[in-house]
């Protein structure tokens, strides 16, 4: 168990030395970056001086005896914020952005920042494992006996990362930054033509009143005072009898004196006898022909 503590402590120290190498690499790139930007942005003296001052403070903390990761993290956070403002300033100078020396320094600075971030994650992971072992039972007994203590995390305190982003869309809408569009309810009658609602072409006679202090707000949708009644359908009258016309749904009857038959009635039997049947004798007393 003691050997495990020694191994974890050595791993924390090794990961911190890797971060230290990348920090020195960033210190060496900043002077060349300042000289390149100064050649194109001579009027941005305040931003350049802030980067120089932040670098000097970080170097002093780095070289100070007994420095802690917490102190180094605050100094590196201030330096990172100054560098971010410097790169944002370069966006206003197209000539500087197209300079090959500046682009090369920017790529090297980005790679260095990535390696610092990766080393910081690795270091904090080892610190977390060691601190957990120091506080856990029964390994905490060995830690107290041999003076194994908790290590500090390396966190970059970047005040520039907490600045709120402010966007102004006045150039897109044509209004000032303080102008706001008022929401209008589609069922509200305010600002609409008298007698007409904003969402319906039907007229209403009683719009919703405005609420008085202490009263609850009325419903947005107002009910009309009266509804239009539907007109009854007219019944179709059958045409008058006459002129040979028939009423709807009635069967026609034959006219007197004509040989026509009414619709739907069977035809009358013919007066002549059927073929092959002798006619009846008119005189029942006389015998039929032989």
Tens of each residue's pLDDT in the chain, 290 residues: 889 999 999 999 999 999 999 999 999 999 999 999 998 887 888 999 999 999 999 999 999 998 899 999 999 999 999 999 999 988 889 999 899 999 999 999 999 999 999 999 999 999 999 999 999 999 999 999 999 999 999 987 654 444 433 333 333 334 444 434 444 555 555 544 444 444 444 444 455 556 555 555 545 444 555 555 555 555 555 555 544 444 444 444 444 444 444 444 444 454 444 444 455 554 445 455 44
What is the C-alpha to C-alpha distance for residues 82 and 96, in angstroms, rounded to an integer?
Answer: 18
Q: Distance between CA atoms of 135 and 121, rounded to whole angstroms?
A: 21
Residue 164, judged by CB atoms within 10 A of its CB (0-12, 13-18, 19+), counts as exposed
The confidence score (pLDDT) of residue 193 equals: 47
Crossing angle of helices 69-89 and 2-40, in 10° steps, is 30
β-sheet bridge partners, residue 242: 245
pLDDT of residue 161: 42
Domains of the chain with CATH codes: 2-161 (1.20.1440.20)
Q: pTM, whole model, 2 decimals? A: 0.54
CB distance 130 to 13 below 8 Å: no
| C-alpha distances out from residue 10 to 14, 16, 151, Å | 6, 10, 12
Residue with tokens 């230290």: 20
């Amino acid at each position: 168990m003691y050997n495990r503590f020694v191994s974890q402590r050595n791993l924390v120290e090794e990961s911190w030395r890797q971060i230290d190498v990348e920090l020195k690499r960033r210190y060496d790139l900043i002077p060349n970056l300042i000289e390149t930007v100064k050649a194109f942005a001579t009027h941005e003296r305040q931003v350049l001086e802030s980067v120089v001052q932040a670098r000097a403070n970080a170097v002093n903390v780095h070289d100070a005896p007994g420095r802690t990761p917490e102190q180094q993290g605050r100094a590196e956070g201030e330096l990172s914020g100054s560098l971010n403002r410097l790169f944002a300033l370069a966006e206003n100078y197209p000539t500087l952005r197209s300079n090959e020396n500046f682009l090369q320094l920017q790529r090297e600075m980005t790679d260095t920042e990535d390696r610092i971030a990766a080393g910081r994650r690795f270091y904090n992971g080892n610190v977390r494992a060691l601190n957990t072992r120091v506080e856990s039972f029964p390994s905490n007994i060995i830690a107290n006996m041999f003076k194994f203590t908790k290590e500090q995390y390396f966190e970059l305190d970047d005040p520039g990362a907490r600045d709120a982003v402010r966007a102004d869309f006045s150039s897109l809408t044509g209004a000032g930054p303080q102008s706001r569009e008022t929401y209008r309810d589609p069922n509200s009658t305010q600002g609409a033509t008298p007698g007409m609602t904003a969402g319906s072409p039907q007229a209403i006679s009683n719009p919703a009143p405005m609420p008085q202090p202490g009263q609850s707000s009325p419903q947005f949708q107002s009910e009309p005072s009266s509804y239009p009644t539907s007109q009854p359908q007219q019944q179709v009258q059958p045409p008058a009898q006459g002129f040979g016309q028939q009423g709807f749904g009635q069967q026609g009857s034959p006219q007197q004196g004509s040989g026509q038959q009414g619709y739907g009635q069977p035809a009358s039997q013919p007066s002549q006898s059927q073929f092959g049947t002798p006619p009846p004798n008119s005189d029942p007393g006389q015998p039929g022909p032989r």
